[in-house]
Amino acid sequence: MKKTISIHIKGINFLIEEDAYEILKNYMARLAEKLSNTKGKEEIIEDIELRIVELFTASLSSRKEVIEEKEVNETISTLGEPEQFIDEESEGTEQKKESFNQENSSFEPSEKRLYRDMDRASIAGVCSGLALYLHMDLIIVRILFILFTMAAGFGVPLYIILWIVLPTANSHIDRLRMQGRPITVENVREEVEMAADRMSKSSKNFASKIQRENVIQRFFGTIGKIISKGIGGFLLFLGIIFSIAFFIVVIGHMGTTPVKTDEGFLGLYNFGLLFFEDPEQLNFLWLSAGIIAVAGIIWLIASGTRLLFNLRYPWYRYLSRSMLFIGIIGVVLAFYFGSILAREYTIEKSIETERVASTEPFEIETLDDDYSIHNYRHNGYNQRHGKNYWLLIKNDKIEERGIRIYYEVSPDSLYHILEERVASSRNDRDALFRAKNIQFKIKQNGTKYTIPNEYQFPVSDKIRNQHVQVYVLIPKGKSIKVNDEIRYPDGEEEDWNSEMDTTTVL
């Protein structure tokens, strides 16, 4: 019966025989002594300890829980004796390498594994890892990936898959495994020295690059500062302009909408009352819009001030995030109450009335000469008649301008004038009710019919896409007079001009 003790190696607990522990302790002491003047001593010892943990773990099983002297000796044989490879007093560099190559042949190679090599990586180290694993030149591997991409198109997907699947070579042992080299003390020491050389060269190249790019960076840095201050001044200017507009339009209730009343033009809030049946919904939408506007103005002023004066106070970060959060809340509320209003326009209904059905042609007069040329012209601002408004509110009625007139082929031999009043709402009943409330009248004087350019509906109906369409139906091969000009059904004028005797046209 042998005495066992518990030890910890790199945070892993092992039960080991006392004699075996003394052998391992003596080995690590000799290794530390031989590495005392070696660069990267701590890294080498740490990697050796990691390798010992792997070898010890592999030797244990459910039936074997104690590390014996046999396992320790096998581990030392795998790693190699320190005196066998590190003898700085008796051998030169070339002699040591030759001796190592001869004696190292007795060691079994490590389990070869594929890793991503980030030391020579351009993107993710896939090509570099493959080059070490396959013992190929890195340039050749990269060229092959480019050729695969150009020829078959699977180079990029393959690279991405390997990027995701392959682990990174995080330790010197991983790099030895990637090359299939035995994990011995000497190989670990060489790998540490090579890593130090790579780090030194990388630092020198970086310093040289910094020196070369210093002048260019200063130039572009100056240009960047000028652009930054220009953007800051522009943002600050926008913030000031928007804040002035906010106080005038929103807080001052200035009449800025194209809706005219006896008292002047409506402000934005009163304009919103023409759409919302429930004032509370408008109040919430008004509040949401105000939140968005205030958050945006504060962000513009703060961002402009920071860029213009190159401020580096921590308050800007918290202020920006707060304004972003408040703005998002305002957008969500505005979207919600806007969607409530949008439902009022989901159903469209119309009421069609026939005003004229005649066997004889008649004459049409419109109050806008544009109707005699185009299929229809819906002018919101009719400057021709000196109207600088879209809607007129008078005597609790909304008056809107712009009648849509269509000239089409009659389905029979009669001349027709059809009037269609259209409105929208959230259901059929309300849409029809609003369509019936539209007041529009075509005036008759003998065979002459005057189509007005405006229609009215009650303010209580709110604005629900109310509009009027007039259909003038002309028998095929016939024409009428519109504003003292000959008018044919749409699409037939050119054919008729070439076939008909113009003396028969009224």
Asked if the model's pLDDT at residue 142 lies above 70, the reply is: yes
Give the pTM. Answer: 0.49
User: How much is the pLDDT for 358?
Assistant: 92
Torsion angle (degrees, nearest 10) of CA 370, 375, 378, 379 = -20
| DSSP assigned state of 411 | S
CB contact at 8 A, 107 and 166: no
Asked if the model's pLDDT at residue 448 lies above 90, the reply is: yes
User: How much is the pLDDT for 414?
Assistant: 94
Angle between helix axes 155-165 and 138-151 (nearest 10 degrees) is 130
Of 153-167, 234-248, 417-431, the range with the highest mean pLDDT is 417-431
pLDDT one-digit tens code per residue, 242-288? 888 888 777 656 677 888 888 888 888 889 999 998 889 888 888 88
User: How much is the pLDDT for 377?
Assistant: 37
At 236, phi and psi to the nearest 5? Answer: -65, -40
Torsion angle (degrees, nearest 10) of CA 171, 177, 178, 182 = 120
Per-residue confidence band for 14, with pLDDT thresholds at 50, 70 and 90: confident
Average pLDDT of the segment spanning 432-458: 93
Return the higher-pLDDT residue of 87 and 281. 281
Asked if the model's pLDDT at residue 31 lies above 70, the reply is: yes
Per-residue confidence band for 498, with pLDDT thresholds at 50, 70 and 90: very low
Return the higher-pLDDT residue of 413 and 59. 413
pLDDT one-digit tens code per residue, 145-191? 787 777 666 777 788 888 887 887 766 666 666 776 666 666 666 66
Q: Which of 224-233, 245-254, 315-324, 467-476 has the lowest mean pLDDT?
A: 245-254
Average pLDDT of the segment spanning 202-225: 61
Q: Which of 138-152, 205-219, 269-283, 469-483 has the lowest mean pLDDT?
A: 205-219
Q: Which of 188-202, 231-245, 289-303, 441-455 has the lowest mean pLDDT?
A: 188-202
Angle at CA 142, nearest 5°, toward 139 and 148? 140
Cα(94)–Cα(92) distance, rounded to whole angstroms? Answer: 6
Report which of 61, 63, 62, 49 is spatially closest to residue 12, judged by C-alpha positions.
49
User: How much is the pLDDT for 374?
Assistant: 36
Return the higher-pLDDT residue of 109 and 276. 276
Torsion angle (degrees, nearest 10) of CA 303, 307, 311, 317 = 40
Cα(114)–Cα(163) distance, rounded to whole angstroms? Answer: 12
Per-residue confidence band for 359, with pLDDT thresholds at 50, 70 and 90: very high
Write out the two tokens for 132. 């070490």
Cα(455)–Cα(438) distance, rounded to whole angstroms? Answer: 7
Asked if the model's pLDDT at residue 100 lies above 60, the reply is: no
Write out the two tokens for 436. 């019936």
User: How much is the pLDDT for 289?
Assistant: 87
At 422, phi and psi to the nearest 5? Answer: -125, 140
Write out the two tokens for 200. 């030194």
Of 103-117, 234-248, 409-423, the range with the highest mean pLDDT is 409-423
User: How much is the pLDDT for 212?
Assistant: 55
Please, what is the average pLDDT of the chain? 77
At 62, phi and psi to the nearest 5? Answer: -65, -25
Cα(492)–Cα(67) distance, rounded to whole angstroms? Answer: 104
Domain borders along the chain are: 4-97, 126-202, 230-344, 346-504
CB contact at 8 A, 117 and 129: yes
Average pLDDT of the segment spanning 449-476: 94
Cα(206)–Cα(262) distance, rounded to whole angstroms? Answer: 76
Length of the chain: 506
Average pLDDT of the segment spanning 353-374: 74
What stretches of 246-314 show up as alpha helix (H) in DSSP?
A: 268-272, 279-309
Average pLDDT of the segment spanning 78-99: 53
Write out the two tokens for 486. 């000959």
Cα(32)–Cα(431) distance, rounded to whole angstroms? Answer: 93
Q: Which of 48-62, 354-368, 433-447, 491-505 has the lowest mean pLDDT?
A: 491-505
Residues 6 or more apart in contact with residue 100 via CB below 8 angstroms: 85, 186
Q: Which of 344-348, 364-368, 451-455 has the lowest mean pLDDT?
A: 364-368
**Residue pointed to by tokens 């001796």:** 99
Torsion angle (degrees, nearest 10) of CA 40, 43, 44, 49 = 160
